[in-house]
Amino acid sequence: MDQCTHEMRGNRWLQIIQACERRPTYQSKTEWLRENGVPESSYYNQLRRLRSELSTQIKQSLPLEQKPAETSFVELPPDMLHSTSVSNVEGDSIQLKIGSSEIIISDSISDEFLTRILKAVRYAG
């Protein structure tokens, strides 16, 4: 079955499933399916297929688990080390004072962003 046919059938079944869900509260699903000429087994097979496709789409749209980045170090020039201090700020963050620069780093910072900041500090000095 080509992609276009697959999408058209999928859309048709989606409309049937949505219409069935909007049926009157006094009417059972089985009654609605019978009145509308929809085989019950086909309805549940298509409902299962649709849920499976949606589940796959959701999983594909979520970001993959990030692996912890390798620890990397940036060497600071000796003249910057003499005027450097580190202190705790609030909760899980630290405050770095390097010369006239001040950086507050939260523990939620990504390794990549921290590396970029430290490289910028290194080259700024």
Distances (CA, A) of 63 to 29, 54, 69: 37, 16, 16
pTM above 0.85, yes or no: no
Residue-level pLDDT, tens digit, the chain, 125 residues: 678 888 888 889 889 989 999 999 999 999 999 999 999 999 999 989 888 888 887 777 766 665 565 656 666 666 655 555 555 555 667 777 766 667 777 777 777 777 777 777 666 65
Place of tokens 């390798």: 70
Give which of 120, 114, 78 is closest to 101, Cα–Cα: 120
